[in-house]
Structure 1
Amino acid sequence: MKKLLILLLLYSYSLTAQKLAKGFVYLNDVDKSIQSELRYFSNNNFIGKPIDGYHKNCIIITLKAALQLKEIQQQLVKQGLSLKIYDAYRPQEAVNHFVKWARILDDTLMKKEYYPDVPKSKLFSLGFIASKSGHTRGSTVDLTIIDTKTGKELDMGSPYDFFGKESHPFYKNIAKEQQKNRLLLRNIMIKNGFTPYNNEWWHFTLKNEPFPKTYFNFPIE
């Protein structure tokens, strides 16, 4: 039954899919209720300006990952909650932009907000910046949970994309409610087929992702 659903969805998305790599979709076509804030399309990110390859404010992801996010969303909606996506598919040119920026040590426009306690010179060695990203394979997602009544994000104890130990999923020096919120996100993602990343509470990759060795570079538009 699920295979049939995938085939039907692929057919219905055939026109828009012509603009994407095969197997990718716009998340909004799969579930319009999932919220988003594409940070790398804006100035609100650790570099402080839009990132190369982000030409439109839309979430692109593999169909397989999108269907799992839809299932998660259906479970959260029953609790008065919703997913909110910060980033999903990320073109290689965006990763290259990160790498180029990290090597310009005097460009620290957003240091206070995103990496106040980490020297920029150590972003590579500490694993915050790398030349390859799971996002570029299309089945990794950065996200949080919001309260649908207030529209506000649940308090996770540290901001998205914060470079520091505070972003580790099991960081203890935060309030109990913040720890509870992190576990809520982590548990529902794991339950529905995603693998968490040890250093970032917001980062998850689909198990058995469809393109485990392919790093794509088509733009987000």
Structure 2
Amino acid sequence: MRFGQRRRCLPTGLIVLCLWCVIFAPTVSELAQTRVQSSLPEGFVYVDEIIPDLVQEIRYYGTNNFMGRPVDGYLANRAILTRAAAGALQKVQQELGAKGLGLKIFDGYRPTRAVAHFLRWAEDPADQQMKEQYYPALEKKDLFKLGYIATRSAHSRGSTVDLTVIRLATKEELDMGSPFDFFGPISRYNSPLISEEQFKNRKLLRDVMVKHGFVPYDEEWWHFRLKDEPYPNTYFDFVVQ
């Protein structure tokens, strides 16, 4: 007597799981897009992955900046730096944290396309919408000559950062005497236009940054470059995203 071959049936739960995977699994193109969006050049990191409690307010991502609009190359409110710079900044954050203070970052790596956007803005005399807030005592046509706008930026090398100090409990910025990116003599580190308390706050920031390997810029109290930057002659243009 011949018996027919027994047919094996998959459990219902396994069938449902297989169907779910087929329907909802990302396509190859979606996976490739994810890799592109999340990848950084070798040697670069998202700073918040190194310093999780870092406060970020990337000004060129939004409209609160001297141009009054998002800047080319900024698609996310996240700071990027070289791994070396982020590691040094982590030590700064740790030292400040022991005093109930921390860092707030305004800009890190800056694509060269953003610098080109600054230049186009500087060459447009009709666009004065942010003059009262950022350069009230200066003529826009003089910003390039005075050094506030330049054809190249150390930020594009990935180891320069703009930042301030905050109180961790309230996230309130210490009073530095002038806001970030204000074009004028009051932004100079040792400006006689600021109070003793404001200078004390600037000195606090400068001292801890210098201690951990950063070089200050006298014209801007908020600007620091890693002394031993890994790419001193390379200007990058990948997007902040």
TM-score when normalising by structure 1: 0.91
Q: Unaligned stretches of 5+ in structure 2? A: 1-34
1:37: Cα distance to partner? 0.3
Larger Rg: 2
Aligned residue number for residue 13 of structure 2: none
Alignment of 1:86-165 (within 5 A): 86-165=106-185
AA aligned to 1:72 is: V
Q: 1:139 to 1:78 in 2, by over 3 A?
A: same
Query: Which string of whole-angstrom CA distances, capped at 9 and with x for unpartnered residues, describes residues 170-206 of structure 1?
Result: 0022111101000000111111100001210000000
Partner of 2:61 in structure 1? 41
Which residue identity is paired with 1:211? Y
- Whole-Å Cα distance in 1 between the matches of residues 196 and 119 of structure 2? 36
Identity %: 51
Q: Secondary structure at the match of 1:73?
A: helix
1:8: which partner in 2? none
- Tell me the TM-score normalised to structure 2 length: 0.84
* Closer/same/farther in 2, CA of residues 16 and 190 from structure 1, 3 Å limit: farther
Equivalent position amino acid for 2:61 in 1: F
Structure 1 outlier segments of 4+, above 2 Å: 15-18
Q: Could you tell me whether the CA contact under 8 Å between 1:17 and 1:24 is conserved in 2?
A: no
Q: Which amino acid aligns with 1:68?
A: A
Show the 5 A alignment for 1:62-77.
62-77=82-97
Deviation at 1:49, TM superposition (A): 0.4
Structure 1: gaps (5+ residues): 1-14
Indicate if the aligned counterparts of 1:83 and 1:144 stay in contact, CA closer than 8 A: yes
Distance verdict in 2 for CA 1:33–1:114, change over 3 Å? same
C-alpha deviation, 1:36, in angstroms:
1.0
How far apart, in 2, do the equivalents of 1:67 and 1:152 lie?
Answer: 24
- AA in 2 matched with 1:82: G
Aligned pair count reads 207
2:193 is the alignment partner of 1:173? yes
SS in 2 for 1:220: coil
Which residue is equivalent to 1:32? Answer: 52
Q: Check the 8 A contact 1:17/1:25 in 2, yes or no.
A: no
